[in-house]
Amino acid sequence: MFEICLENVRRNMPLIHNITNYVTVNDVANVLLACGASPIMSDDKEEVEEITSICKGLNINIGTLNHRTIPSMLLAGKKANELSHPVVLDPVGAGASSLRTETALRLIREIRFDVIRGNISEIKSLALGRGSTKGVDADMADAVTEENLSRGIDFVKGFALDTGCIIAVTGKIDLVTDGKTCYVIRNGRQEMGKVTGTGCQLSGMTAAYVAANPENKLAAAAAAVSAMGLAGEIAWTHMEKSEGNAAYRNRIIDAIYHMDGKTLAEGARYEVR
């Protein structure tokens, strides 16, 4: 299934509209090209509706959000909803400031997202902000581990049902769920955390995968998550002794560039719960 999802991206070459932060934007553009999609970045409120109309999917990322771009996010998201284009939210830093948490919550209220992808802290901030604290124990550590996996799955499923979105929580173990089915994915390497923007890249890729697989959005989102993790594993095998996180950044994108369906099918490590 992941195999087909990947191949559909290469076949359909979806154009993805990104309203994203200026820190990792270049890597998001290059990873979209690497996976077979095409990127366009645009954030002025006068053009975002028109730009998103010519695209197949929209990726909204609130890293370096500001008062000029927040209205653009809302306009683009609503237009994408109107056109039934898939929309992904990356709530970067939700919980780190009221502006980020409130903006993410407002986006979720006003836009219908197909996927929300973040780390567990960001997702918990949103769940708590919505008052949907069910499953969020005060003692639940921020990382999803083998030990607290069941509770993590319950929590993420609950948030998926509450919002009506696919939720993708990435970390040591990744969880991707629509509230009923949960993919538990064990690809990736911890060294990916030393590369800025692997999460942002994944959100862009998720928009491409979902756009190219409209009939299988959950599997597509899970495939994107697994592909990114697997790229981190493959890239690591190519690292030379003197190389560090800058080389790793490039090698991860390069691994996405070379990944075909068969590689993903063989390398994906997940269970469905």
- The contact mask relative to a copy of itself for 238-257 (x = CB under 8 A, - = no) is x---xxxxxx-xxxxxxxxx
Stretch of 25-33, 133-141, 174-182, 265-273 lying at the interface with a copy of itself (CB under 8 A): 25-33
One-letter amino acid of 142: D
Query: Do the annotations mark residue 129 as ligand-binding?
Result: no
| Position 110 contacts a copy of itself (CB under 8 A) | no
DSSP of 126-161, one letter per residue? HHHHTT--TT--TT--SS--STTHHHHHHHHHHHHH
| Position 106 contacts a copy of itself (CB under 8 A) | no
CA distance 251 to 253: 5
Query: Residue 208: helix, strand or coil by DSSP?
Result: helix
- The contact mask relative to a copy of itself for 178-197 (x = CB under 8 A, - = no) is ----------------xxxx
Assigned token pair, 252 = 């991860």
The radius of gyration of the chain from alpha carbons, rounded to an integer in Å, stands at 17
CA distance 133 to 154: 12
Assigned token pair, 248 = 């790793």
Q: How many CA atoms lie within 13 A of 64 on its CB side?
A: 10
- The contact mask relative to a copy of itself for 27-56 (x = CB under 8 A, - = no) is x-xx--xx----xxxxxx-xx--xx--x--
The residue among 97 and 150 lying less far from a copy of itself, judged by its C-beta, is 97
The residue among 163 and 170 lying less far from a copy of itself, judged by its C-beta, is 170
| Position 134 contacts a copy of itself (CB under 8 A) | no
| Position 82 contacts a copy of itself (CB under 8 A) | no
Task: Provide the 10 A C-beta neighbour count for residue 222.
Answer: 31
Binding site for a copy of itself (CB under 8 A): 21-27, 29-30, 33-34, 39-44, 46-47, 50-51, 54, 63-68, 93, 96-100, 194-197, 238, 242-247, 249-258
Binding annotation for ATP: 117, 170
